[in-house]
Amino acid sequence: MVAVKTSSETNTLIQLSNVSKVFDNGVTALKNVHLAIKEGEFVSFVGPSGCGKSTIFKIIAGLSEPTSGTVELQAHSATEKLDQSDIGFVFQHATLLPWRSVIDNVALPLELKGIGKRERRKQAKAVLNLVGLNDYETSLPRQLSGGMQMRVSIARALIAKPKLLLMDEPFGALDEITRQTMHYELLKIWEKTNMTVLFITHNVFESVFLSTRIAVMSARPGRVTDVLDVPDYEKNDSFRSTPEFSKLVGEVSKGLQHE
């Protein structure tokens, strides 16, 4: 069972206050978004397409600026702030370099930092072991299944030891069996690394299974209209068929239908 910290034991890592985003073409993507995220949480964002979920992630990662409002990224103390080196990003597709082996794809962020080959391969081996791909170091991406390619992408994000992992619908293209397998792998990684994970999904069942909290968003302009707590249930196959799981799925679905 995944251990979940209580709010009294954790510090606020991200504080979004009155965040709005208007693009140059006049489209208002986000309007007055308020949300606090604590260290060690797993927070899923669900909402209709185009509601600004990815825009929130880009703002948090420093890839885009809000038009108004503030984003505070805190780490442990008032003097220690998160920066881009503390943030890992996993996209909808694995985006691996097809001519590089698995281990060289994973080691790429360290190579770009100028870290020597021996050290970066050592660290790459460690994260490949974490995601269960230590036997595929020399394989090329085309030799891997979709789920394995996504594990490589996750390993590449983890190699820099981020405090915050942003995942933008990473399992959307996978079949249901592979997707459920990846759910367990991701929860194991989250438990071992003690990271904070923010996760975008259109799958209500996925959000309930993975998360400690779920942020429900409205259609554009995107707002966080509800935040649901997911109690500390044991995350296994049996959980998916419990009344508690069905109740939470219903609550999230109701929030989406209302919007």
The predicted structure's pLDDT at residue 45: 97
Rounded to an integer, the average pLDDT of 200-205 is: 94
Q: Rounded CA gap, 17 and 170, in Å?
A: 27
pLDDT over 90, % of the chain: 70
pLDDT over 70, % of the chain: 92
For the entire predicted model, the pTM comes to 0.89
pLDDT digits (tens, 9 = 90+) for 81-136: 666 778 999 988 889 999 999 999 999 999 999 999 999 999 999 999 999 899 99
pLDDT digits (tens, 9 = 90+) for 167-185: 999 998 888 888 899 999 9
Q: Is the pLDDT of residue 254 over 60?
A: yes
Rounded to an integer, the average pLDDT of 231-249 is: 90
pLDDT digits (tens, 9 = 90+) for 3-56: 344 444 568 899 999 999 999 898 999 999 999 999 999 999 999 988 999 999
Q: Is the pLDDT of residue 251 over 70?
A: yes
pLDDT digits (tens, 9 = 90+) for 142-162: 999 999 999 999 999 999 899
Beta strands of the chain (E only): which ranges?
A: 12-22, 28-38, 42-46, 68-75, 77-81, 87-90, 164-168, 196-200, 213-217, 224-229
Strands, sheet with 12-22, edge to edge from the N-terminal-most edge strand: 28-38, 12-22, 68-75, 77-81
Q: Rounded CA gap, 18 and 49, in Å?
A: 21
Rounded to an integer, the average pLDDT of 250-259 is: 84
Q: Rounded CA gap, 7 and 79, in Å?
A: 21
